[in-house]
């Protein structure tokens, strides 16, 4: 079985993201870029599945400009076997990404596709679900545990009400949550080995995917600051105030 | 634990600052067949670099002719120099000393410049490994340095390997180039081990704090390089500020204080924040926002403190050797020059060798420059005004007077509480951000896995609670710019709480602690600040 | 005029509060509001949905394969209904986040995620970068809108409505490749810190692990989750999985009560999206008061027992 793992290049989670004064975007001048942390967890899971003998090959894929090759190389250094860059001129919105991924899936025929539950830049949380819809295959989102039984996969999902388990037939799309695993560190010699692993570049046009129209971002703004509230004098006033606001 | 994996290189360089990167680029320019690697503890090249920085471009011209057509991302020619002496509310313009004449120089973000140099080195075939700390030295059978050991990753607080445990590898090479910058973790070990400083004065340091601001449109004057002396410091403390006006309404604002200050209650961070409230600077900052903050020690000993820079199997370059020119407050050109010199030296023999590097360095313009200005910094030991007079004399005579002032170690300068009362510095109530060190360190975006072992080792913890309480009242809680050290008293009694995750790797504690019981070691690779354009 | 369809979230018996919040968002868009309630044998839920103020019709669709909200089974059903609407809305809960993008892909549009404000029937405001930036996003004229609603940004609409309840038959069949097995709800003990609607948190001021018992007691009285500052974790009063903040958990409860927490920015980062923040601290200058909705300057060791007494 092949496993396909999505890798998105995003602003590192340690970066203090700031909106440009003119509201035209966020300031990404000189900021650190990384693999989306959820995608790293997805890759770790794929590697563990392979190491357990349940998969033959782990392929990482990123849709983006040439800069995303940096993140693909890191993914190869973590242990992926090969990488595919779907080369685009600018960032794709989720439906277009799903459409492009579907075309690659048709070529590669993976048994499992693992993605992060969301990318920490746009926070959209759409791509995996959309891909499953277009592919007409099962989706198991927010996964915190995967168990294989033959051609079936039992997935524990972190839902608001607790932990839900579902069973899906393969091939399927899984999106992963934080608690699934802790990704490995890259070993230094593996960085060198990764330089020799295959990285195929496929121009988006060549995939022949017809892309959905984009939503238009018209303005970026900094979040409103929290305002200083009221002072109460004692516990009784506090409890009364909370009751007044319907919080108790 | 299993045998460590080994990688072999012709030259291994520790630190991707200007010194290390320049050395690597030059090596490959001269001898492309050499295998060269750079180890960098920051998650990305440049992310641990704090500098002003007004740089002298000559070494860059030499290294990369044509760089001016494709300059680093922040690079503004200096248009005008100003030096001000500040009183609590007023200011006096001073003539710019010749060392600080910046005509022809450029204001850059040194961090961004290093991130710009790194791909140039990679294009020449240098392997750069950001995110890995050189945590120990590898020695060959005959005691020479044979390379470095990369720190293990995935160890918990108690030192037990976790699921993610990844053993660090060893990198072997005939020569290890130590380019760790000021007060390096390996440099410190090597200087002790090989007694490299036995014939030189103790090294002197300063602490530099920096903030990058975006000010209200129209307030900055791109290319203006301002320096101040005086308030908020009293004349017994060596230090001052820099205010560099960049493009896009950005201002690089910093404060440098000699770590030979005597007042145990003094806080360099607080002094920096005070300085921002001088009317001249407050006007500039009001209505703006902080983009990034950082802190880093600066090496200030110069000529007298210059250690021997070679030992079997290794050499020291850049700030790791202490090559910064203090009166100029510039070390970048020195770091780059020494990097090129090292490359030329290492490429000259069939197998790279450290032997003879020290002599080559001492005969070069790098050390000549230090010799000229050797008496200026120590002249300030006795106060600002006497320092000025002496500095003027040394400058006029170009350091040719046949005398050399002695240095003393910074940690020994601190006065005990009993019998010391600090002068009134006329400090004011402040309201510009950040309100405190925790708010400041937020903009340094520092990050350490909190489960890892504490990388600030206290060699004799009992001293903190016994002697230090009485003698100095825990100066670590004040000189650390990141609020790493806290004295806490709770049901478990009084103890030193070390918030190691706050650390921005400035190395001040390792230098200034009066008992010399704080040992800074490298944390897990990739930990530490994530500076942006500092 | 807009025709808006809301996909209800429920557990078979009770309508989830998030649905009432979606109605508020739908009202902000303006237009005719219907609610689709998919499930099996879930009539009680239909009645609850019909009682929400501002709703015109409730569409009940009952079938065995719809008993649990499996996106693969629900999405085609919602797609069928969507034909008659300009807007299809779900909550930004794990259920809505699972289902709605699958619907959007079937419709053939990108989704608006986590809508916090309506600017026009085609234009919406939403957070990105974990709330560190807010964007205005617009769809092309005539495009069908599929969105999830950020529940923390919207009040629940009131009751008193009287919508028509219509029974519809399911159009599709089970996808066959996906099966629901079980739900292990968090149980009856203390709610999970991350999902709790109320959280009581303690800082270094608690002074010891024993001192922290005060926090647990109050939390249990309120049915709240328990959090802590890093200082309290580092001092060993509580385990590290209770840490709230930059390196701990990022939470957004309806009510966050902080006792003896100074309010360092790294802690605030973890709670800034909470609906209401209450701070009790004996230092009137503590930074937490800058952002608290309700502040009380006082000693937590006297204030907490007083609150408990008042709660009875
Ligand atoms: C506030 C301030 C203002 C300054 N202003 C100016 C100015 O205006 N002009 C000027 O020319 N100079 C200025 N300097 C000085 C200048 O920044 C330094 O001289 C210069 O950075 C030295 O370069 P370097 O390569 O030797 O060391 P650094 O720049 O310090 O680089 C060392 C690198 O090594 C890495 N490293 C260290 N130890 C290890 C290890 N064990 N393993 C792996 N990696 C390691 C570090 O992370 C770092 O990236 C200023 C310095 C400060 C602090
Ligand atoms: C990189 C980094 C990451 C960090 N991550 C986190 C994080 O994830 N979470 C986090 O919480 N912190 C984090 N911090 C630490 C943070 O900066 C603060 O140090 C920490 O939150 C302080 O905890 P505290 O408020 O409990 O303690 P303190 O700052 O010591 O405050 C205790 C407060 O209790 C008050 N008090 C004392 N006694 C009483 C009493 N009897 N009654 C009422 N009030 C009393 C005091 O007035 C004071 O305000 C991080 C810091 C850094 C640099
Ligand atoms: S702990 Fe030491 S090295 Fe770290 S920030 Fe504080 S003074 Fe600097």
Cβ atoms of B475 and B514 within 8 Å: the answer is yes
CA of C261 to the centre of ligand 2 (A): 5
The verdict on B195 and B333 lying in the same domain is yes
Q: Which residue has the tokens 């019998």?
A: B419
Structural domain harbouring B137 = 6-66+112-201+303-372
The verdict on B500 and B356 lying in the same domain is no
- pLDDT at site B233: 96
A146/C contact by beta carbon, under 8 A? no
Angstrom distance (rounded) from CA B446 to CA B48: 10
- pLDDT at site A161: 85
Dihedral, CA atoms, B524, B527, B528, B534, nearest 10 degrees?
130
The verdict on B26 and B125 lying in the same domain is yes
- Of chain C residues 191-250, which have a CB less than 8 A from chain B? 204, 207-208, 210-211, 230-231, 234-236, 240, 247
Domains of chain C: 3-169 (3.40.50.620), 198-311 (3.40.50.1220)
A15/C contact by beta carbon, under 8 A? no
List own/partner pairs for B139-145 with CB under 8 A and 24 or more apart.
Answer: B140/B313, B142/B312, B143/B312, B144/B311, B144/B312, B144/B313, B144/B314, B145/B176, B145/B190, B145/B311, B145/B312, B145/B313, B145/B314
- pLDDT at site B380: 81
- pLDDT at site A197: 98
The verdict on B38 and B150 lying in the same domain is yes
| Strand bridging mode B80-86 / B153-155 | unpaired
The verdict on B329 and B438 lying in the same domain is no
- pLDDT at site B396: 75
Angstrom distance (rounded) from CA C121 to CA B514: 67
In chain B, the residue whose alpha carbon lies closest to the alpha carbon of A186 is: B166
Nearest neighbour of A165 by CB, restricted to C99, C175, C181: C181
Residue B119 phi, psi (nearest 5):
-65, -25
Strand segments (E) across chain C? 3-7, 32-39, 57-62, 87-91, 112-115, 117-120, 123-128, 133-138, 145-149, 164-168, 178-185, 198-202, 225-228, 255-259, 276-281, 294-297
CA of B505 to the centre of ligand 3 (A): 5
* Neighbouring chains to B with at least 3 Cβ pairs closer than 8 Å: A, C
The reply to whether ligand 2 has any atom less than 6 angstroms from the CB of C231 is yes
Residue A232 phi, psi (nearest 5):
-115, 160
The reply to whether ligand 3 has any atom less than 6 angstroms from the CB of B484 is yes
pLDDT in tens, C162-175: 999 999 999 999 99
Ligand 3 atom index nearest CA of B502? 5
Residue B69 phi, psi (nearest 5):
-75, -30
- Residue burial C164-193, b: 16+ Cβ < 10 Å; e: rest: ebeeeebebeebebbbeeeeeeeeeeebeb
Q: DSSP letters of A170-216?
A: SSEEEEE-GGG--PPPPPHHHHHHHTTS-EEEEEHHHHTPPPPPPPE
Q: What's the total number of domains in chain B?
A: 2
- pLDDT at site B1: 55
Nearest neighbour of B442 by CB, restricted to C204, C235, C265: C265
- The reply to whether B225 falls in a domain is no
Angstrom distance (rounded) from CA C18 to CA A157: 20
Ligand 1 atom index nearest CA of B333? 11
The verdict on B19 and B124 lying in the same domain is yes
Q: Among B372, B388, B410, where does a domain finish?
A: B372
Burial class (CB in 10 A: 0-12, 13-18, 19+), C146: buried
The verdict on B319 and B183 lying in the same domain is yes
Ligand 1 atom index nearest CA of B19? 25
Average pLDDT over residues A198-205: 97
Q: Is residue B299 classed as helix, strand or coil in its secondary structure?
A: strand
A-B contacts at Cβ under 8 angstroms: 60
- The reply to whether B43 falls in a domain is yes
We report the CATH number of the domain holding residue B508 as: 3.30.70.20
The verdict on B320 and B451 lying in the same domain is no
- Residue-wise pLDDT tens for chain B (534 aa)? 578 999 999 999 999 999 999 999 999 999 999 999 999 999 999 999 999 999 999 999 999 999 999 999 999 999 999 999 999 999 999 998 887 889 999 999 999 999 999 999 999 999 999 999 999 999 999 999 999 999 999 999 999 999 999 999 999 999 999 999 999 999 999 999 999 999 999 999 999 999 999 999 999 999 999 999 999 999 899 999 999 999 999 999 999 999 999 999 999 999 999 999 999 999 999 999 999 999 999 999 999 999 999 999 999 999 999 999 998 989 999 999 999 999 999 999 999 999 999 999 999 999 999 999 999 888 887 777 777 777 777 777 777 878 888 888 999 999 999 989 989 999 999 999 999 999 999 999 999 999 999 999 999 999 999 999 999 999 999 999 999 999 999 887 899 999 999 999 999 999 999 999 999 999 999 999 999 999
Of A112, A103, A111, A123, the C-alpha closest to A63 is A103
- The reply to whether B513 falls in a domain is yes
From the CA of B483, the nearest ligand is 3
The verdict on B350 and B493 lying in the same domain is no
- Is the pLDDT confidence value at A234 over 70? yes
- pLDDT at site A209: 83
Nearest neighbour of B5 by CB, restricted to A32, A183, A189: A189
For residue C235, the tally of other CB atoms under 10 A from its CB is 23
- pLDDT at site C120: 98
The verdict on B38 and B123 lying in the same domain is yes
Mean pLDDT of chain C: 95
The verdict on B21 and B135 lying in the same domain is yes
- The reply to whether B137 falls in a domain is yes
In chain B, the residue whose alpha carbon lies closest to the alpha carbon of C239 is: B451
- The reply to whether B25 falls in a domain is yes
Minimum distance, in Å, between the CA of residue C223 and any CA atom of chain B:
29
- pLDDT at site B388: 74
In chain B, the residue whose alpha carbon lies closest to the alpha carbon of A18 is: B291
Cβ–Cβ gap B491/C204 under 8 Å: no
pLDDT in tens, C256-282: 999 999 999 999 999 998 999 999 999
For residue B328, the tally of other CB atoms under 10 A from its CB is 21
The verdict on B442 and B367 lying in the same domain is no
Domains of chain A: 2-244 (3.40.50.620)
- Is the pLDDT confidence value at C253 over 80? yes
- The reply to whether B414 falls in a domain is no
Q: Among B323, B344, B372, where does a domain finish?
A: B372
- The reply to whether B309 falls in a domain is yes
- pLDDT at site C192: 84
| Strand bridging mode C178-185 / A162-169 | antiparallel
- The reply to whether B144 falls in a domain is yes
Angstrom distance (rounded) from CA B469 to CA B42: 35
Nearest neighbour of A15 by CB, restricted to B109, B129, B445: B445
Minimum distance, in Å, between the CA of residue C152 and any CA atom of chain B:
26
- Reply yes or no on whether B296 is catalytic: yes
Average pLDDT over residues A8-31: 91
Percent of chain C scored above 90 by pLDDT?
A: 91
Cβ atoms of C36 and C78 within 8 Å: the answer is yes
In chain A, the residue whose alpha carbon lies closest to the alpha carbon of C99 is: A129
- Reply yes or no on whether B506 is catalytic: yes
The reply to whether ligand 3 has any atom less than 6 angstroms from the CB of B23 is no
Cβ–Cβ gap A219/C186 under 8 Å: no
Residue C18 phi, psi (nearest 5):
-60, -25
We report the CATH number of the domain holding residue B120 as: 3.50.50.60
- Reply yes or no on whether B480 is catalytic: yes
Q: Among B318, B348, B372, where does a domain finish?
A: B372
């Amino acid at each position: 079985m092949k496993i396909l793992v999505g890798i998105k290049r995003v602003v590192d989670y340690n970066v203090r993201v700031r909106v440009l004064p003119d509201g035209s975007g966020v300031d990404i001048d000189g900021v650190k870029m990384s693999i989306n942390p959820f995608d790293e967890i997805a890759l770790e899971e794929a590697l563990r599945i392979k190491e357990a003998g349940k998969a033959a090959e782990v392929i990482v894929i990123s849709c983006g400009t040439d800069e995303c090759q940096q993140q693909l190389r890191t993914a190869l250094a973590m242990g992926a076997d090969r990488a595919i860059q779907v080369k685009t001129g600018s960032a794709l919105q989720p439906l277009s990404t799903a459409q492009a991924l579907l075309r690659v899936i048709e070529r590669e025929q993976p048994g499992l596709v693992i993605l992060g539950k969301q990318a920490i830049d746009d926070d959209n949380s759409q791509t995996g679900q959309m891909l499953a819809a277009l592919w007409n295959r099962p989706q198991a989102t927010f996964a915190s545990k995967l168990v294989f039984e033959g051609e079936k996969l039992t997935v524990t999902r972190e839902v608001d009400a607790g932990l839900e388990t579902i069973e899906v037939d393969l091939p399927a799309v899984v999106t992963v949550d934080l608690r699934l695993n802790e990704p490995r560190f890259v070993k230094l010699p593996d960085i060198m080995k990764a330089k020799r692993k295959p990285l195929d570049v496929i121009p988006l046009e060549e995939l022949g995917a017809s892309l959905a129209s984009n939503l238009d971002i018209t303005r970026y703004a900094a979040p409103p600051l929290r305002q200083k509230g009221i002072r109460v004098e004692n516990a009784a006033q506090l409890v009364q105030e909370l009751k007044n606001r319907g919080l108790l | 634990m299993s045998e460590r994996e080994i990688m072999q290189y012709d030259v291994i360089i520790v630190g991707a600052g200007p010194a290390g990167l320049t050395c690597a680029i030059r090596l490959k320019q001269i001898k492309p067949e050499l295998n060269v690697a750079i180890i960098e503890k920051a998650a990305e090249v440049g992310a641990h670099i704090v500098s002003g920085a007004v740089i002298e471009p000559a070494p860059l011209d030499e290294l990369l002719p044509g760089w001016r057509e494709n300059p680093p991302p922040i690079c503004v020619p200096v248009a005008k120099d100003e030096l001000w002496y500040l009183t609590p509310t007023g200011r006096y313009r001073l003539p710019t000393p010749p060392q600080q004449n910046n005509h022809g120089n450029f204001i850059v973000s040194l961090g961004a410049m290093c991130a710009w140099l790194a791909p140039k080195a990679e294009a020449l075939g240098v392997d750069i490994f950001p995110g890995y700390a050189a945590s120990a030295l590898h020695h060959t059978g005959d005691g020479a340095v044979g390379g470095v050991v990369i720190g293990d990753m995935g160890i918990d607080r108690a030192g037990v390997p976790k699921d993610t445990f990844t053993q660090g590898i060893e990198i072997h090479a005939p020569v290890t180039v130590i380019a760790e910058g000021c007060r390096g973790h390996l440099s410190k070990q090597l200087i002790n081990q090989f007694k490299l400083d036995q014939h030189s004065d103790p090294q002197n340091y300063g602490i530099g704090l920096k903030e990058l601001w975006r000010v209200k449109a129209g307030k900055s004057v791109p290319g203006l390089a301002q320096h101040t002396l005086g308030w908020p410091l009293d004349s017994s403390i060596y230090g001052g500020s820099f205010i560099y006006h960049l493009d896009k309404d950005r201002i690089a604002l910093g404060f440098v204080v000699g770590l030979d200050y005597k007042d145990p209650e003094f806080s360099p961070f607080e002094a920096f924040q005070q300085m921002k409230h001088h009317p001249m600077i407050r006007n500039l900052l009001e209505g703006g926002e902080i983009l990034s903050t950082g802190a880093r020690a600066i090496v200030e000993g110069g000529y007298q403190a210059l250690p021997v820079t070679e030992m079997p199997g290794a050499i020291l370059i850049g700030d790791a050797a202490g090559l910064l020119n203090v009166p100029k407050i510039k070390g970048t050109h020195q770091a780059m020059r020494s990097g090129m010199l090292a490359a030329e030296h290492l490429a000259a023999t069939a197998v790279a060798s450290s032997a003879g590097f020290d002599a080559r360095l001492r005969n070069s313009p790098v050390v000549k420059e230090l010799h000229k200005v050797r008496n200026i910094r120590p002249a300030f030991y006795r106060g600002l005004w006497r320092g000025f007079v002496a500095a003027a004399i040394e400058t006029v005579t170009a350091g040719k007077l046949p005398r050399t002032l002695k240095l003393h170690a910074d940690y020994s300068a601190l006065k005990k509480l009993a019998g010391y009362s600090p002068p009134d510095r006329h400090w004011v109530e402040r309201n510009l951000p950040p309100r405190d060190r925790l708010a400041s360190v937020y903009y340094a975006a520092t990050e350490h896995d909190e489960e890892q072992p504490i990388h600030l080792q206290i060699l004799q913890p009992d001293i903190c609670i016994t002697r230090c309480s009485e003698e100095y009242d825990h100066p670590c809680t004040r000189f650390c710019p990141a609020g790493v050290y806290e004295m806490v008293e709770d049901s478990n009694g009084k103890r030193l709480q070390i918030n190691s995750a706050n650390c921005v790797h400035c190395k001040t504690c390792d230098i200034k602690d009066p008992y010399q019981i704080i040992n800074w070691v490298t944390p897990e690779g990739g930990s530490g600040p994530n500076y942006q354009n500092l | 005029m807009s025709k808006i369809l809301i996909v209800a979230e429920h557990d078979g018996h009770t309508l989830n509060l998030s649905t009432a919040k979606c109605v508020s968002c739908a009202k902000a868009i303006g237009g005719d509001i219907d609610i689709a309630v998919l499930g099996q044998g879930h009539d009680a839920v239909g009645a609850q949905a019909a009682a929400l103020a501002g709703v015109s019709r409730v569409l009940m669709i009952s079938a065995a394969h719809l008993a649990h909200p499996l996106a693969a089974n629900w999405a085609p059903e919602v797609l069928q209904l969507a034909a008659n609407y300009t807007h299809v809305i779900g909550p930004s809960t794990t259920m809505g986040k699972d289902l709605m993008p699958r619907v959007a892909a079937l419709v053939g549009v990108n989704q608006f995620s986590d809508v916090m404000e309506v600017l026009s029937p085609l234009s919406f405001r939403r957070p990105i970068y974990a709330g560190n930036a807010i964007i205005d996003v617009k769809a092309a004229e005539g495009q069908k809108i599929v969105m999830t609603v950020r529940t923390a940004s919207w009040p629940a609409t009131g009751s008193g409505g009287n919508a028509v309840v219509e029974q519809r038959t399911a159009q599709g069949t089970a996808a066959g490749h996906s099966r629901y097995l079980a739900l292990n709800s968090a149980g009856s003990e203390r709610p999970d810190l991350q999902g709790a609607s109320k959280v009581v948190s303690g800082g270094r001021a608690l002074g010891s692990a024993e001192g922290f018992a005060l926090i647990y007691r109050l939390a249990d009285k309120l049915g709240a989750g328990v959090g802590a500052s890093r200082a309290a974790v580092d001092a060993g009063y509580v385990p590290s999985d209770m840490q709230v903040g930059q390196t701990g958990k990022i939470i957004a409860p309806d009510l966050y009560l902080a006792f003896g927490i100074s309010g360092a920015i790294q802690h605030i980062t973890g709670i800034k999206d909470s609906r209401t923040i209450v701070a009790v601290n004996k230092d009137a200058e503590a930074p937490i008061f800058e952002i608290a909705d309700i502040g009380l300057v006082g000693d937590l060791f006297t204030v907490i027992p007083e609150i408990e007494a008042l709660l009875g």
